[in-house]
Amino acid sequence: MSTFRIFDIAGSALSAQSVRLNATASNLANANNVAGSPDGVYQAREPVFSVVTDAQGETAGVRVLDVQTANAAPQKLYQPGHPLADGEGYVYAPSVNVVEEMVNMISASRSYQSNVEVFNTVKDLTMRTLSLGK
C-alpha cells in the first residue's frame, strides 16, 4: 500500500467523522426545542456511511452516502401555559436522547483523533525513511 493511499483513506475517514460530529452537534443543539405541532418538531439526523473500494476491490476509504432524519415520534408534553401550546395545551419535543448523542459525539471525536494520529505517524515514518539516505 502506498503512503499516499494511506493519506486518502485517513482523509476520507476524517471527513466522514466531521459530518458525524456536525450531525450530533445539531441533534444536541435542538434537543430541547419544542413546536406547536408534531410536524414542526426537529427530527434527529444520522449520517449513513459506505465503504469505498478501488478497481481491485480493496478498501479505499469511507464516504457519507446520506444524512437521514429519524422517524421517531415526537414527545407530547402537556404545558398549557407555553406560547407554542396547541388548543389542548400540548407542545411537541424531538425524540433526541442526549446521553446517546453525547456517547456518539465522544466516539466520533475519538475516531477523528485516531485518524489524525495515522496522518502524524505516516508523516513521521516518511520523514525517517527520507533521512536514511543522509
pLDDT for 12: 96
Confidence of residue 134 (pLDDT cuts 50, 70, 90): confident
DSSP tag of 29: H
CA distances from 127 to 3, 29, 116, 122 (A): 12, 42, 17, 9
Residue 110's CB: how many other CB atoms inside 10 A? 11
Q: Distance (Å, rounded) from C-alpha 11 to C-alpha 66?
A: 18
Residue 37 located in a structural domain: yes
Asked if residue 65 is part of any domain, the answer here is yes
Can you give the pLDDT at residue 93? 97
Report the number of distinct structural domains present in the chain: 1
pTM comes to 0.88
pLDDT at 1 over 70: no
Residue 71 lies in a domain: yes
Q: What is the pLDDT of residues 39-83, one digit of tens each?
A: 999 999 999 999 999 888 888 999 999 999 998 999 999 999 999
Q: Does residue 59 form part of some domain?
A: yes
Q: Is residue 133 part of a domain?
A: no
The residue range of the domain holding 77 is 3-128
Residue 4 has pLDDT above 90, yes or no: no
